Amino acid sequence: MSTTPAPVIARAAAAERLAHAQESVMTLLADSSQTGGALSVTRSTFPDGGDGAPPHFHTGASESLFVIAGRLQVLAGEEVVVLEAGDFVTLPAGLPHAFGAAPGHDADVLAVFAPAADRFDYYRLLERVVAGEADPAEIPASGERFDNHYVAGEAWHRARSAA
């Protein structure tokens, strides 16, 4: 009897895709329940200057972002940086952060949470809110369940409004 865990394979053609605000698309690749709590992985595409996540933090997981293509503007604490294709950032638990496509650019981004709680239902909630099928108040109300805690993020708002 083998004790080697089975691989998690996400096929692009079969992956669930969610329509989010500003014509962004999120592809669900692997959630915590599939990886034994090790990871939750998504891929998102954001149109020119499109918002990703507003300022928030996680208490139990780091969030890592790898820019596949384009440019991604990222808040990390109080610093706002622009990452280009091939760049990577890890945002530790407790650090306020936000991200979106840099003004004038699209962004294609791989996001990894580790260790992870199941987050796919949170992303499905966002899609329902955008479609008018759920109350926006459900998003902050789900903070504890999905370890997503929103903060003010003044540096982020200044950087996004300056564009």
Query: How many angstroms separate the CA atoms of 1 and 127, rounded?
Result: 42
All structural domains of the chain, each given as residue ranges with its CATH number in brackets, are 16-156 (2.60.120.10)
Q: Over the stretch 9-62, which tens digit does the pLDDT of each residue have?
A: 999 899 999 999 889 999 999 999 999 999 999 999 999 999 999 999 999 999
Buried b (16+ CB within 10 A) or exposed e, 49-62: bbbbbbbbbbeebb
Query: How many angstroms separate the CA atoms of 150 and 131, rounded?
Result: 22
pTM (2 d.p.): 0.93
Residue of 52, 24, 79, 67 whose CA lies nearest to 148 = 52
How many residues make up the chain in this entry? 163
Confidence class for position 1, pLDDT limits 50, 70, 90:
low
Classified as helix, coil or strand, 116 is coil
| 62-76/51-57 β-pairing | unpaired
Confidence class for position 2, pLDDT limits 50, 70, 90:
low
